[in-house]
Structure 1
Amino acid sequence: MQRGTERYIFPGMNEKKAPAPVTSSPSVPAGPRSSTQEIGNFLRDAKALAEIRSGSGRLILALDATMSRQPTWDLACALQAEMFDAVGNVGTLDVQLVYFRGLEECRASKFVSDTGSLKRLMTSIRCQGGQTQIGKVLSHALKETARGKIAALVYIGDAMEEDVDALAVKAGNLGLHGVPVFAFQEGTDSHAELAFKEMARLSKGAWFRFDRDAAATLAKLLSAVAVFAAGGIKALEARGRAEDRLMIEHLRGGGRR
């Protein structure tokens, strides 16, 4: 594959915001005197809760912006807000948008930590004809891990026109660096499905299918990924929604196919 030049765009974006300090902590409720074991359990649970609420994470949101994605591009723009809303009580989430389109164009934004900034980035992009460049996305994610911890890579696409073995190697390397790939497939292309499932399996992530009629389901799953990126499996367990339990099952290997 011909290597393209990765360029950072969208200058002048807001810098990352530091997590808000925890201003209060749980207190022992009034009542009968607790046993030593009960006090120990309480202190352990309080510490775990504080760790979850003070969590922060960096997530890469990668999108196929080739022409076939145009019908659902607006849907993707709308759903990204769910990712930020979901982590409000968990911590902070910094998201970097990566997309490819046209002839060898693959770009990445800065990491941003608010819904408005990401929405402005996404709505400024127009889909263009071209082939997939998933390999560049995975290579970029590997480079970002050298700069700082990446909690997860979310990829949304509908096709795959590359060497599946080459993608598998890069996805496996991401898995070795603790970066699960969550692949969301639009449509039913069997070649793409095979590649996306391998990427998810080798990185210890998850594969899901979605379409325009399943927007609500996709939004919930994206929110679960965001919670995981900000606070890990503990945060998913603490929130405890159906989509969180499904994501935990995948992350622990029970939901991979």
Structure 2
Amino acid sequence: MSDPKAPSKTATGDVARSTSSSAELDAFLNKVQSLQPAASGRGRLIVAMDATMSRQPTWDLALSLQSEMFRAVKEVGGLDVQLMYFRGFGECRSSRWVGDPDALARLMRQVHCEGGHTQIRKVLSHARQENERQTVNALVYVGDCMEENIDTLSQLAGELGLVGVPVFVFQEGHDAGAERAFREIARLSRGAYCRFDAGSSAQLRELLRAVAVYATGGRKALENAKGGAATLLLEQLR
């Protein structure tokens, strides 16, 4: 873990230099094709972030990636997003559902990192509860570590898979224990796992955007989208 820094919305730091392998990114695209868009009405997507202190050095990068994802679907429309984050001593919050990507970006900029343990269990439980109220098309989770019981998380991930809520997990860094847990969460929920760092940020930005566009409008929306990730995804859908 990096040396703690005072919470700041503009703090930056070094990130791992190795990039995700092309095979890993291809595997992610293969998994994304299984995400089924809403048959009618608006798509609903939960975006959850680990906002504990270990994320501080690259917080700006994470916010930038997620802001890009929702700006990409602004012209398409039809996507409601809920922002969720955890940090500090048991703090775990979720926003209202937001249909305006600009409003979501403003919400994200208000979050800063604080020391604390992971609360992924709360994220998965919340997604299940929200889906019981109204269909949730997917959950995106961004984090770098895992400090919880993997069997508990696996049970919750499997329950999400049964009700059709895939978890798309994006890992920052190279924590081996977290990777094993994240891959299992993705597998059991019928979602996908992918790592991101400075070297792969551009491609992963496109992947995030492709997930959001597909969750909103399915194949037709992807055909109208721009970017290499949308093209690659369409090739996988054939």
Bigger Rg, structure 1 or 2 = 1
Identify which of 115, 137, 159 aligns with 2:101.
115
Change over 3 Å in CA distance of 1:176–1:248 after alignment to 2: farther
> What residue is the counterpart of 2:55 in the other structure?
69
Structure number with the bigger relative contact order (C-alpha 8 A, sep ≥ 6) is 2
Matching residue of 1:150: 136
Pairs aligned (count):
201
- In structure 1, the residue corresponding to 2:174 is in which secondary structure? coil
Aligned twin of 2:205: 219
8 Å CA contact 1:206–1:250 kept in 2: the answer is no
CA distance in 2, matches of 1:231, 1:70: 34
Give the TM-score normalised by the residue count of structure 1: 0.71
Matched, 1:82 2:75: no
Deviations 1:119-158 (A, max 9, x none): 2211111201111000000000000001111111000000
Q: CA RMSD in A?
A: 2.5
Is the 8 Å Cα contact of residues 206 and 228 (structure 2) preserved in structure 1? no
Structure 1 pair 240–215 and aligned structure 2 pair: CA distance change class (3 A): closer
Runs of 4+, deviation exceeding 3 Å: 88-91, 232-242, 244-252
Q: Relative to structure 1, is the Cα distance of residues 55 and 236 closer, same or farther in structure 2, using a 3 angstrom cutoff? A: farther
Structure 1 alignment gaps of length 5 or more: 1-50, 253-257
Map of 2:13 onto structure 1: none
Asked if 2 retains the 8 angstrom alpha-carbon contact of 1:171 and 1:203, the reply is yes
Cα gap change, 1:128 to 1:247, in 2 (>3 Å): farther
Question: What is the SS of the residue equivalent to 1:110?
Answer: coil
TM-superposition CA deviations, 1:78-112 (whole Å, max 9, x none): 22232223224543211111000011110000011
Equivalent positions of 1:99-248 (< 5 A) are: 99-232=85-218, 235-236=221-222, 239=225, 242-244=228-230
8 Å Cα contact 2:157-2:185 kept in structure 1: yes
Indicate if the aligned counterparts of 2:145 and 2:178 stay in contact, CA closer than 8 A. yes
Gaps of 5+ in 2: 1-36
Change (3 A) 1:68 1:236: same
Q: Deviations over 1:26-76 (max 9, x none)?
A: xxxxxxxxxxxxxxxxxxxxxxxxx99x86311000000000001111112
Which stretch of structure 1 is more off in the superposition, 185-194 or 235-244? 235-244
